[in-house]
Amino acid sequence: MGVDYYNILKVNHSATDDDLKKAYKRLAMIWHPDKNPSARRDEAEAKFKRISEAYDVLSDPQKRQIYDLYGEEGLKSGKIPNSSSYEASSSSSRPPHFFHHHRQHPPNAASFRFNPRDAEDIYAEIFGSEAPGGHRTFRDGSFRNAHSSELRKAPAVENPLPCSLEDLCKGVKKKMRLSRNVYDASGKMRVVEEILPIEIKPGWKKGTKLTFPKKGNEEPGIIPADIIFVVEEKPHPLYKRDGNDLLVNQEITLLEALTGKTLDLTTLDGKSLMIPLTDIINPEHEIVVPNEGMPISKEPGKKGNLRLKLNVRYPSKLTAEQKSELKRVLGGVS
């Protein structure tokens, strides 16, 4: 019995030109090869070719009449029987929709030869300005560019991805909820929600981008946009990042600057770090603790430095007695 073009387009046998065009557009938006991932490309190309052939036949009055009377075999072989032999043929050899057209006058076989139209030519004609640029043609079982340009791709959509310094130090897995418009197998648009898994790697920096290709809204004749998440660093109450280094501003008293102190810091990965101050500390003094900064993402196992900037807090006033005592203690110190 051959291919049922009506079933391929999901239309009934009395479908008008407008019905056919709407059905084609719905299905072409789903199965155009450029709108499908590479893993499904072969399937998409085959279905897109069948959809295009069905539309080509049913939208052409002569092809449709011959198909309705003689089926796919008669259409493509060109072996169209004359009127009397056709009437004598068994009903089992006719298309299932034969009864809709049995009173039609059979076309002249000598005047018809089946020439299928190119799938991408049909697509470009139907979508017109919705599919600007060059088109691609189906040759030897695959689609190839007829011009250098292809379907227009929607601009990428960027979204901020706020991360704490702890997240960027230790790494973390997040889940982002995404709502998008897609077309289902019947060609109807619906809103779906997807959960996008995001893995923050230790050492990632502000501005790092994570791309999910073609996860934007589906639109006619347009390749869906890429969804991009851009890392943003949240402010931290203690640490500030400088490249791969971590900066800490630590205030100590004048007494601690002169006599020493042990600083106790909690690192971004949760451990306790003891830093003894044994030397006399001058104002704006900086202590560098190697390998206690941020992980270096491109050099696993390595870290930047922790840089402590020490600010000495002087007393706001001293009594005469305190001054005298300081002179006594520090009088001989140069």
CATH number at residue 38: 1.10.287.110
152 found inside a domain: no
13-27, 85-99, 154-168: segment of lowest average pLDDT? 85-99
Mean pLDDT of the chain: 82
Same domain flag for 13 and 87: yes
Residue 85 has pLDDT above 80, yes or no: no
Which of 122, 145, 168 represents a domain boundary (last residue)?
A: 145
State the total domains in the chain: 3
Q: What distance, in Å, lies between the first and last C-alpha atoms of the chain? A: 109
pLDDT at 275: 94
Q: Which residue has better confidence, 307 or 73?
A: 307
pLDDT per residue over 225-243, tens digit each?
999 999 999 999 999 999 9
Residue type, 299: E
Same domain flag for 89 and 200: no
Element (H, E) at 204: none
Same domain flag for 251 and 306: yes
73 found inside a domain: yes
Same domain flag for 322 and 260: yes
Which of 209, 233, 257 represents a domain boundary (last residue)?
A: 233
Q: Say how far residue 104 (Cα) sits from the centre of its chain.
A: 52
pLDDT at 303: 95
- Is pTM beyond 0.85? Reply is no
Residue 138 has pLDDT above 60, yes or no: no
150 found inside a domain: no
Same domain flag for 223 and 261: no
151 found inside a domain: no
- Of the pLDDT bands very low, low, confident and very high (cuts 50, 70, 90), residue 183 is confident
CATH number at residue 301: 2.60.260.20
Let me know: does 232 contact 161? Beta carbons within 8 Å: yes
Mean pLDDT throughout 207-213? 95
Residue 129 has pLDDT above 60, yes or no: no
Q: Which residue has better confidence, 144 or 306?
A: 306
Gyration radius (Cα) of the chain, Å: 37
Same domain flag for 272 and 222: no
Q: How many residues does the chain have?
A: 334
Which of 102, 121, 145 represents a domain boundary (last residue)?
A: 145
Residue 28 has pLDDT above 70, yes or no: yes
Mean pLDDT throughout 60-84? 79
Same domain flag for 220 and 257: no
3-7, 86-90, 262-266, 313-317: segment of lowest average pLDDT? 86-90
pLDDT at 132: 38
Same domain flag for 131 and 161: no
Same domain flag for 60 and 31: yes
Q: Which of 29, 67, 63 is nearest to 48 (CA)?
A: 29
Same domain flag for 118 and 68: yes
Same domain flag for 47 and 141: yes
What's the rounded Cα separation, in Å, for the pair 334 and 326?
A: 14
Residue span of the structural domain in which 167 resides: 157-233
Residue type, 263: L
Mean pLDDT throughout 129-139? 43
Q: Which residue has better confidence, 311 or 144?
A: 311
Same domain flag for 125 and 210: no
